[in-house]
Amino acid sequence: EWDQLSEYDKPETVLEYVKTFPKADLSNCKTMAVLRVKNLEDKIRTINTKLERQYDGISFDDLARYEVELPVWKEVLNVVSNVVDNG
C-alpha cells in the first residue's frame, strides 16, 4: 500500500512506484528525480575532485552509495519524463 512519496524515499522505492502507477500525476516526481540526479552528479563530481587533490575527510561509503543511487534515479527520471512529457 502506498501512502505517498517523499524526497527521503530510496530510489528503488520511487522507481517501483512510478512503474506501478504510470497513469498517476508524476510531475512532482519528475521534479524530485531531476533534482536528485543533479545533486548526486554534483556530489560524485565533488568527491572525485577531492580525491584528485588528495583532501582528507573523504567518505568512500558515501561515494559508493551515490554511484549506486544515481543510475536508479536516472531511470526514475526517464520513466516519469516519458509519462509527464507524453501523457
- Are the beta carbons of 5 and 14 closer than 8 angstroms? yes
46-67 pLDDT, tens per residue?
888 877 666 666 677 888 888 9
What does the block give as the cell for 83?
509519462
| Distance between CA atoms of residues 70 and 11, nearest Å | 9
Q: What local confidence, expressed as pLDDT, does residue 56 receive? A: 63
Q: What local confidence, expressed as pLDDT, does residue 51 receive? A: 74
pTM of this structure: 0.71
- Are the beta carbons of 78 and 31 closer than 8 angstroms? no
3-58 pLDDT, tens per residue?
778 878 899 999 999 999 888 888 889 999 999 999 999 999 888 887 766 666 66
Q: What local confidence, expressed as pLDDT, does residue 86 receive? A: 79
